[in-house]
Every structure is written in structure tokens, then in C-alpha cells.
Structure 1
Amino acid sequence: MPLSPRPLSGREAATYRTRVTLLGTAGGPPWWEGSDRQGISTLITVGDAQYLIDCGEGWGRSFRRSGESVPGFEHGIDRFRAVFLTHHHSDHTIDYPNLLLLAWHNGSNSLRQPIQIYGPGDRGSLPPIFGDPEIDPGVWCPESPTPGVHESTEKLLAAYATDINDRTRDEGKRNLRDIFEVHDIPLPTAATAHANIDPAPVMEPFQVYQDEYVTVTAILVDHRPIFPAFAFRFETADGSIVISGDTGVCDNLVTLARDADLLLHECIDPDWIEGRVGAKSGNDDPYLRQHLLAAHTPIDAVGPQAQKAGVRTLVLTHLVPGDTPVDKWQRAERGFDGLTVVGEDHMHFGLGAPIAHDPATLVAAAPEPARG
């Protein structure tokens, strides 16, 4: 059996046909003092194809610095096959417009086919008011308060109509709809109907995407009150990768991650929660405290989740707060028999066995069919 996936240098990782690169490992909207972690984003490379999961702040710059972008003028996203958004929180989508609007200048002329984008659809109902129900915050954009990724993308492009029209009419740029195809991930009606009661009902993983390199399945996870919130599993000929998205402790994630080679799991520091909104914080907010604990996975709960799933390597990412010391995050290894790694930006992992010493030969290497 191959060794459990472990952190590799970029040069080492380039000898693997299938590899995972952490573009950004910070969670949450704030800018964390004392931390240079970029916003949450992950890249999976299989042969000459690449898959992006989430578009946190700085993902593009991090991608170019990671060594996974083809160098040279008008190179960048020319190997992208698909992009997956786990949920609609802004720390996962804030640099999504960069992907759309900078594509013309960063590799889209070399695309062999449109980039497929998959994300949550319209949840169908507003989330309940959290905290004091007597305080009504009103509804933003009441004509469409919970749009899915397809509608959101159309609205983003509409906001940039001046730029888009100028570049297509004056510079002859391609129609962006020929570069990207955007899909709401469909859900069973029953799941949508009970979104505010049970955002992650017990279910089996379902297929979202497949090509000759990967099969991607998804499952609902518990990031209440946000809905839908997905975790994704990528099956390749070299192994399996699971990305938790944002979630509290959740049986569905264990189901999706069963026997995976690599589990990238979010994590929150409960001491930070207590210091910010706990009883002794001077800013006591039991509603927000409970929300943060329910919607995310505390350090000591991550290892048992990975153990239940039987994964080989656990990687902590989407770290909240981004400036918690690494040795404290390392406590997540308790209760887990496999390898635990605290994720860092630009960290690489290889799956399977090295297949070449010359990275240039990897792009032409034909993969085995994806498992699953």
C-alpha cells in the first residue's frame, strides 16, 4: 500500500500525476492579525486537468505563486476543467468574480472546453432570524433573497456590464458564456423543504461531475443556518480526496469520507469563541456562541470524525481564527490513528506513486480512468 499522503515540496509534488495544493487555509471573513494565510481555496491537479474548490480571498495570486499555474503570457486557468463552490458564504466566494472577469487575460484563449462551475442552488426560503426574534433585520434583495450560483453569476456579470461590453466590442474578447458554464447542484425536493429544520438530513452521496480524470460526488453537511452547504469527494485513479466545506460534527461527512486517502477538514478554536463571545469575554452573546459551535467543528472533534471515516491523512484547513498557533491546531490528532497535518498555504500532497522525475512529462501523461 502506498504511504499516506504527506506534505511535499512543489518539486516533489510535480512528480505525482494526482496532487492537492492548498491555495488558502484561512476561514472567516476577518483579516487575521499576525497571519498571512489567504482565504480558503484548494486546487486538485490530475495529469493536465485542474479543479478549483472555493474562491476565497487571494486564491488567484496564490495559484500563480503555487507553481501549479502554467507560466507565461496568457497562461493561468488554461488547464481548469471545473470549479466547485461549497456554499454561499462570502469567505468562500469573495474572489469568484476574479475568476470570471480575469479569465480573458489568464489562459482562457487556450481552453479546450468551457470551465464547468458547480455550486449551491436557490435554498427556496430565508433562514430563520438568529438571536432576538423581535429584531427584524429586514430582507436584502426581497425579489430574490436566496439566489443559487447560476443566478448569482448572472447578476455579477450584469454589475460588470460596462467592462464586459467594452472588452468584447473593442478588444474582440470571447463571450464569457463560452468560457464558463454554470450549474446549480440539484437537490431532492424533500431536502429543500426542510432546510430550516434539518440542513443535513441523512443521505447517500450523489454524483455531481465526471470526466476522464475524476468522479465528483457531494453530500449535504451541517453549516446551519446556511443551506445548501456541500462537502465534495474526488475519486481519481490514484486515490480519493474529500473536502469538508464548512460544517459542524456531521454524520453525512463521515459517510462521504469513508476510507478516503486525504480528508481536508475545517476547524475552529473553541477558546477563541469563548474569548470573543463567551460569558467572561465582556461581550457575552450566547446566541452567537452556540451558532459558532454548531456550524463549525472544534479542534478536539475533528480527529474522532476522521477516525470514524477511516481516512488515511487528515489535513486541517479553513482555520478560524487564522492566527491560532500551529501547536494548538495539532491537538486535532487526538482520537485519530492516521497522519494529521496542519495546513499551510502552498502546501502540496501527492496521491498514488510518483510517475516521473521530469515535471514536463506529467502534463502529457494519460491517466487511468477515474475510480467510482
Structure 2
Amino acid sequence: MTTTSYLPLSAEEASRYNSRVTLLGTSGGPPWWDGSDRAGICTAITVNGSTYLIDLGEGWGPRFRQSGLGPSGFQRGLDNVKAVFITHHHSDHMVDYPNLLLLAWHNGSNGLKQPIKVLGPGDRGALPPIFAEEKREHLPEVFHPASPTPGLVESTQRLLEAYALDINDRMRDNAKQDLREIFEFQDIELPGDTGADPNGSPTPGMEPFEIFRDENVRVTAILVDHRPVFPAFAFRFDTADGSVVISGDTGVCENLVRISRGADLLLHECIDMDWVDGLMGPDSPKPDPNLMQHMLAAHTSIEQVGPQAEAAGVKTLVLTHLVPGNTPVAKWEKAQVGFSGNLVVGEDLMNFGIGTPAKREESVPTDGRLPKRTSVPAG
């Protein structure tokens, strides 16, 4: 069990930490939620001035600019971003992925010393089964049968081809750098024969496996239960200051508990099942058993998330990817039941410092007096 509870900090307070977490978007989708200004799901982890993004939901770009994480000044927004990690291929987690690729020219990334690495799930390998097939009057046709379950690398290539006109124009008329020099794309490969049957167990017993490492952070991944989407990952970021886990979208599963053990901060998705039942349950005006079964199996409810965090032994649980995005905070706070640690209901642009704050750089006054304070107390 960790010994420190992490509380939200202002951007200025968080900037004093070598490792910090910023919630750029806290809403799950894909609906647009009335009465909510939460952006789509996106999280930033910044270590020693380098930023790592997890998922690129709707509106992450403007939130990134608002966060102040990028260098100040026009056309320098993305220069601190070193890597991007996609948990799974649902649209609400990567609908603004094209914005990263196509707007990088205009928000920094002009002549980077190293490319931004983008990592995400590989090809599923097989189509998922059709839910309640025997009850459907019309079965869906396979969309793009030549390659119906592409991974990140192939999906990215298709996106770039779709915008060939814009890309060619920018490179020829504006002398922009080749996007293939700005980004490096990689499918996350599962270890051994894990995932050989994508329609079998979505979370076979496994240990977290390393997918990325640099001078600031080691990133490990594990499969989580977001059936029928596969692969779907949770990520753990270990730095010299502490550890952060991003659950991705998942139902209750042992793999999520396994990768979260001993982490300082667990950012976990959450869904309001009362809302689900009222909208699409059997007694609702428009029952939708197809979507209902997905919501029940592939997400974690308010009642379930606290016990899951307790099993992992984390001290601080931050709820994010909130569905619906307009559920009152008081309702989300009921997730405290079954959890003995510190619960925080995430909000866009909320910050957390990991570890202890770095010493403040202060000069000695010319009159020889020492500064009043040489370090910043923990938040």
C-alpha cells in the first residue's frame, strides 16, 4: 500500500513536480452530453518536461493548449510531446487522433530532434461475433472486408491517405516536413501466443509487459476486459517519482488489479448504471439489449470501482472517462463505498503531482540574506 494521498493541484503547484498528471478530458462517449463541458477522454503524464499522452478523445487539442503543458509561443504546442498511447480502437478514444497528425505542422513539431512515437493495439485478427445473431432480422455486412480489423499502423496509413491532398499541398506549397519524419507508429505486440483467440477470454491471465522505455519513464501494458473490443489495454507509467495506472475502458477484471498493485495513482473509468438502465434497460421507453449487455460487461460501475481499487491496494483513485458526462459529482462520489483510500472525481484540467516537488530555483539576494524558503512543501 502506498503511503501518500494525492490531491488535485493548481497548474502552478503541479509544475513544481518532476512527474505530474493532467486530465485533459474526462468524458466517455461517443454521445455529446447536455449540460456538460467535459472534453473527450485524454490524459497527459509529464516527466522532466517531456509529455506522454494517453488516448485522444474529442477536444483534447484545445485542452492541451489550455493546460499550459506545451512551450509558450505560437506554433510550439507539441514540441514537448514524446509519445502517445492508445488504449483501444473505440472512436471516443481516438476520434481526434487525426488532429494530432494533421495539425502538428501548425502547433509545433517543425523540425523535431526525434519523432513523436505513437503506440496502439494491433490488428484484432478476427471479427467479433454478432450479439444475439439468432434474434436479428438483418445481419450486418462486413465493412471493408479486405481488412476489417486493422491495427494502429494500418489505420494511420489509411488516415494519411485520406488526407493526401492536404499533406501534398502543405509539403509542396509550404515546405512542411514529411509527417513520416515527425511521427513513428507502432502496433503493440502481445507476448507469446496471448490473444491467439480474440473471441475467447478478453483477459487471459498474464503479467504486465513492457511496451516503451526512455530516460524518463517505463510503460507496461496488460489486457483488460472491454469485450468484444480486443485488444484493449491498461497502461502503467513508472517514473523515478512514482507510478500511475490508466485503466482504459474495462469491466471488473483481475488483470487491472494486477497492473495497479503498488501504484501511487489509479485513473479508472466509471459508468452510472442507473443512467444505463433508465435509458436502455428492459423497463425503459426504448429498450436496447444489444447496447445494454456491452455496458454491463465492458465497463465498471460506481458500485464496482471502489472495491476494484481496494483490491489493487492503491491509495488514491481518480475517476475519469465518466459516462454519462453530466452525472452530478455527488453521484460519482458514491464510489467511495468499498474503498478505504482517497477518492477524486476527475475534472478537465485537474492536475496531480507525483512524488515530492522539486526544489525551487532561487537566487541569493545581493544583500547576502538567504531566501525565505528553498523548497516547496508537498501538495
Q: TM-score, with normalisation over the residues of structure 1?
A: 0.94
What is the correspondence of 1:309-348 to structure 2 with a 5 Å cutoff?
309-348=312-351
Moved more, 315-324 or 289-298: 289-298
1:131 lines up with 2:132 in the alignment: yes
1:250 lines up with 2:253 in the alignment: yes
Moved more, 120-129 or 108-117: 108-117
Offset at residue 121 of structure 1 (A):
0.3
Please tell me whether the aligned partners of residues 307 and 337 of structure 1 are also in contact (alpha carbons under 8 angstroms). Answer: yes
Offset at residue 171 of structure 1 (A):
1.2
- Structure (1 or 2) with the larger CA radius of gyration: 2
How far apart in 2 are the matches of 1:190 and 1:17? Answer: 38
Map of 2:89 onto structure 1: 88
Q: Deviations over 1:295-320 (max 9, x none)?
A: 00000100111111011110000000
Offset at residue 132 of structure 1 (A):
3.5
Q: Deviations over 1:235-265 (max 9, x none)?
A: 0000000000000001000000001000000
How many residues are treated as equivalent by the alignment?
359
Helix, strand or coil for the counterpart of 2:195?
Answer: helix
Helix, strand or coil for the counterpart of 1:118?
Answer: strand
Map of 1:196 onto structure 2: 199
1:10 lines up with 2:4 in the alignment: no
Q: Deviations over 1:22-78 (max 9, x none)?
A: 000000100000100000000000012110000000000000001212110211110
How far apart in 1 are the matches of 2:126 and 2:47? Answer: 38
Please tell me whether the aligned partners of residues 120 and 228 of structure 1 are also in contact (alpha carbons under 8 angstroms). Answer: yes
Map of 1:298 onto structure 2: 301
Q: Deviations over 1:95-145 (max 9, x none)?
A: 000000111111102532101110000010001112344431111111110
1:206 lines up with 2:204 in the alignment: no
How far apart in 2 are the matches of 1:28 and 1:203? Answer: 29
Map of 2:365 onto structure 1: none
What is the correspondence of 1:28-177 to structure 2 with a 5 Å cutoff?
28-109=29-110, 111-133=112-134, 134=136, 135-177=138-180
Offset at residue 358 of structure 1 (A):
5.8
How far apart in 2 are the matches of 1:131 and 1:12? Answer: 52
How far apart in 1 are the matches of 2:22 and 2:194? Answer: 32
1:15 partner letter: R
Map of 2:358 onto structure 1: 355
Map of 1:238 onto structure 2: 241
From 215, 220, 223, give the equivalent of 1:217.
220
Please tell me whether the aligned partners of residues 55 and 94 of structure 1 are also in contact (alpha carbons under 8 angstroms). Answer: yes
Please tell me whether the aligned partners of residues 4 and 315 of structure 2 are also in contact (alpha carbons under 8 angstroms). Answer: no
Offset at residue 290 of structure 1 (A):
2.0
How far apart in 2 are the matches of 1:297 and 1:200? Answer: 15
How far apart in 2 are the matches of 1:160 and 1:256? Answer: 38
How far apart in 2 are the matches of 1:356 and 1:280? Answer: 58
Q: Deviations over 1:191-243 (max 9, x none)?
A: 33221121111100000000010000000000000000000000000000000
| Cα distance, 1:294–1:183 mapped onto 2, change above 3 Å | same
Q: Which runs of 5+ in 2 are unaligned?
A: 363-379
2:228 partner letter: P
Q: TM-score, with normalisation over the residues of structure 2?
A: 0.92
1:175 partner letter: D
Please tell me whether the aligned partners of residues 304 and 336 of structure 1 are also in contact (alpha carbons under 8 angstroms). Answer: yes
Map of 1:20 onto structure 2: 21
Q: Which runs of 5+ in 1 are unaligned?
A: 360-372
2:76 partner letter: H
Q: CA RMSD in A?
A: 1.4
Please tell me whether the aligned partners of residues 78 and 110 of structure 1 are also in contact (alpha carbons under 8 angstroms). Answer: no
Moved more, 108-117 or 300-309: 108-117
How far apart in 1 are the matches of 2:118 and 2:132? Answer: 34
Map of 2:276 onto structure 1: 273
Please tell me whether the aligned partners of residues 2 and 352 of structure 1 are also in contact (alpha carbons under 8 angstroms). Answer: no
From 161, 171, 185, give the equivalent of 2:188.
185
1:82 partner letter: A
